[in-house]
């Protein structure tokens, strides 16, 4: 029996401990999602982007998975390689 992803996600997030961990990762996943969008806008595969950044495809995959938080220098290199402009903003909580 297969459970649809959204149903499973809702069931798991009903647990307050799981929800707290999920929410704690929100910023990391937002960064990862933005990196993926920039790469796709540029029409690049992970391997092509890696070549432009002089790194490995697996390093790009780690950045895009949210497993690795990029440094400011890496974000700048990523932006340049994808023809993007990096913009960093902070908002009052």
pLDDT in tens, the chain (93 residues): 788 999 999 999 999 999 999 999 898 999 999 999 999 999 999 999 999 999 999 999 999 998 889 999 999 999 999 999 999 889 998
The domains located in the chain, with CATH, are 5-81 (1.10.260.40)
pTM above 0.95, yes or no: no
Q: Which of 74, 64, 57, 73 is nearest to 38 (CA)?
A: 64
pLDDT confidence of residue 93: 81
- Report how far residue 25's alpha carbon sits from residue 23's, in angstroms, rounded to the nearest whole number: 5
């Amino acid at each position: 029996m297969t459970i649809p992803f959204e149903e499973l996600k809702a069931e798991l997030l009903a647990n307050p401990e799981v929800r707290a961990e999920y929410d704690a990762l929100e910023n990391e996943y937002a960064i990862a999602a933005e990196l993926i969008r920039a790469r796709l806008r540029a029409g690049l595969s992970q391997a092509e982007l890696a070549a432009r950044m002089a790194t490995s495809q697996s390093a790009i995959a780690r950045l895009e998975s949210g497993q690795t938080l990029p440094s400011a220098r890496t974000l700048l290199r990523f932006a340049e390689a994808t023809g993007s402009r990096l913009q960093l903003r902070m908002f009052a909580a």
